[in-house]
Amino acid sequence: MYDDILLPTIGSPGGERAVAEAIDLAELTGARLHILYVVEDDSRKGLSDGRWETIREALRSEARDVLAGVESEATAAGVEAITHVGEGRADEAITDYASENGIDAIVMGTHARTGVNKFLLGSVTENVIRRAEQPVLVVRLDED
């Protein structure tokens, strides 16, 4: 059914439900779990190249720490895990990774914001659903 499942994560405390669902699904299907953390490059707006490189490396270091934690949870459950730090716009990086790596399903969380909050903040999950060629399992996240 699924050989490769993608879990995009940023390590937020509320995101544990999506992590647990992805690990459970991978365990049930025998799939590899690809864990992706995207460093969004819109963080660089207004920064000099030198300053951005310093911040970028700090963000990538944080990403590696988050990925190591999720990878540890997956391997403890007997799930093969592959980690990757991506860069760019989150929805594009997620769907590009999925297409380029033979992903069969994507598991991701949402805060299910509505109204003005959704309009102002946008929805990475909604954009992934629109762009992805793969099925997307959406898990409502706990409040942070």
For position 99, which CATH number holds? 3.40.50.620
Among 38, 10, 37, residue whose Cα is nearest residue 144: 10
Could you list the pLDDT tens digit for every one of the 144 residues in the chain? 899 999 999 888 778 999 999 999 999 999 999 999 999 877 667 777 788 888 889 999 999 999 999 999 999 999 999 999 999 999 999 999 999 999 999 999 887 666 655 554 458 888 999 999 999 999 987 665
Name the residue range of residue 114's domain.
4-140
With tokens 């190249």, the residue in question is 49
Total number of domains in the chain: 1
Answer yes or no: pTM beyond 0.85: yes
* Cβ atoms within 10 Å, residue 118: 14
